Amino acid sequence: REAHFDATGDASLISGGAYSRTLGFWFQIQWGPCIVRCTRLPLADPLYIHINTLEFLVLILEVTAVVQCLRDMTDEERQSLFPAGFPVLPILLAQCDNKSALSWLL
């Protein structure tokens, strides 16, 4: 299947972000001090936050941004992106460098 649009995102232990050239958006979010502190806790600590969790959060925010972009499109923008009509099931190619996070999304 061929994707209708794409988005690329990444996360680190201090921030995350994504962009889509197809849909013309980008975002960057800096994790708050509590989140950063939890990424530095020992693995056995119940409050520990793994990088995979932050990568997954960026993917969720990417999908949310795509949905919002599609909702906000003008008729002209929609016609330009989908000349054959809006697809019944639009396909997003969500690109990231974390296989665990991608597998959780699917």
pTM (whole model) above 0.75: yes
The yes-or-no verdict on residue 5 having pLDDT over 80 is yes
Q: Point out which residues pair with 94 in neighbouring strands.
A: 7
The yes-or-no verdict on residue 12 having pLDDT over 70 is yes
Identify the CA nearest to 58 among candidates 104, 2, 21, 91.
104
Instruction: Say how many C-beta atoms besides its own lie within 10 A of residue 99's C-beta.
Output: 10
